[in-house]
Structure 1
Amino acid sequence: MSSQHIVLIGFAGTGKSTVGKQLASRLGCASTDVDAEIVKREGEEIASIFANRGESAFRAAETEALEAVLSSRETLVVATGGGAVLAPVNRELILRSGFVVALKADPERLIERVSQDPDRPLLQGNVRERTYKLLEERKHAYDFAHLTIDTTSLAVDEVVERIAQAIQR
């Protein structure tokens, strides 16, 4: 397994996908989104996988997609799903494969960012209640990152700049 990827972890709405694309562009490498990889591999939208096969089937597909993406020989900026870090095997994969950046944000900002998105099955229903509950459950889930950035009041290019500087050190 190579040790050259930059892996973005964090709760839904912290900016992993958006930051990932811009960071890859800045670094001159490719970016990939693990959730998009799952959809491609499974031939089914994430919300549909949750609805039809349940969260455990989704998590199994997530680990397979993560392994496939992280085994790439080319340097990638990898945006993971918010819950990808919950499985110990995924945390090990992520840590082994490169520089890990956790993005976090104020709960109210997260709610604002995700509340209009139907593609977030774990946040359906009362978004505020679900967000606070999941944040509490995952309080320390992202603590293993090499770098943590609070994106609450930062522009995407500011987040990208901080990560690029950290990588160059």
Structure 2
Amino acid sequence: MAPRIILIGPMGSGKSTIGKSLANKLSLEFRDTDSVIEQRENKSVSQIFIEDGEAAFRAIEREVLHQELKASDTVLALGGGAPISTEAQSALTATSSHVVYLDISLANVAPRIGFNRDRPLLLNNPRGQWQTLMEARRPIYEAIADTVVDVNKRSQSEIVAQILEVLA
């Protein structure tokens, strides 16, 4: 048992939006690890980062990832940092799920996320922080993805159609 599709990528790449649309088209349940964490902890991701620290958040995130990988017939969206640990990478590459990396540039993500205070990893120099995160994370995303989808300047329907075509 495993999710049918797992969406990975940076914050603002559209994982939740695309995931909901894919789940609807495929008549599957949509799950989002950040939402699961917020429900489980009764706090926002930002609150967890600020009150408990990133290490505590990542520990919770790993537990939720392993739990969600046991679900079947779902579309699962992962938080941007969820696939970064070697443990998570191993779990994701061992799954029978189709892993899709939604790739987006800084120029296209900026208007989407607005670099606001609700993004704890971007508190100081938001654009520089995002770029630094992506330089570290992009090779990992690419290594574990079965499919890479460039989402820059593309509509939701175009992105979903491309993913469905790959799955067909």
User: Equivalent residue for 2:146?
Assistant: 146
How many residues are aligned here?
166
Residues 89 and 28 (structure 1), Cα distance of their counterparts in 2 relative to 1, 3 Å cut: same
Q: CA deviation at 1:125?
A: 2.8
* Counterpart amino acid of residue 43 in structure 1: N
Q: CA deviation at 1:4?
A: 4.6
Gaps of 5+ in 1: none
User: Equivalent residue for 2:32?
Assistant: 33
Contact preservation (8 Å) 1:14, 1:151:
yes
Residues 62 and 4 (structure 1), Cα distance of their counterparts in 2 relative to 1, 3 Å cut: closer
Residues 55 and 4 (structure 1), Cα distance of their counterparts in 2 relative to 1, 3 Å cut: closer
TM-score computed with the length of structure 1 as normaliser:
0.92
User: Equivalent residue for 1:59?
Assistant: 58
Structure 1 stretch displaced more, 60-69 or 114-123: 114-123
Residue aligned with 1:86, SS: coil
Residues 115 and 160 (structure 1), Cα distance of their counterparts in 2 relative to 1, 3 Å cut: same
User: Equivalent residue for 1:161?
Assistant: 161
Percent of matched pairs sharing the same residue = 34
User: Equivalent residue for 2:134?
Assistant: 135
Equivalent of residue 76 in structure 1, options 74, 77, 91: 74
Q: CA deviation at 1:83?
A: 0.7
Contact preservation (8 Å) 2:48, 2:57:
yes
* Counterpart amino acid of residue 101 in structure 2: A
Q: CA deviation at 1:5?
A: 2.1
Structure 1 stretch displaced more, 123-132 or 63-72: 123-132
Give distance in 2, aligned partners of 1:120 and 1:79: 17
RMSD of aligned C-alpha atoms?
A: 1.4
Contact preservation (8 Å) 2:7, 2:15:
yes
Q: Which runs of 4+ in 1 moved over 4 A?
A: none
* Counterpart amino acid of residue 77 in structure 2: A
TM-score computed with the length of structure 2 as normaliser:
0.93
User: Equivalent residue for 2:22?
Assistant: 23
* Counterpart amino acid of residue 78 in structure 1: L
Contact preservation (8 Å) 2:3, 2:70:
no
Q: CA deviation at 1:67?
A: 1.2
Gaps of 5+ in 2: none
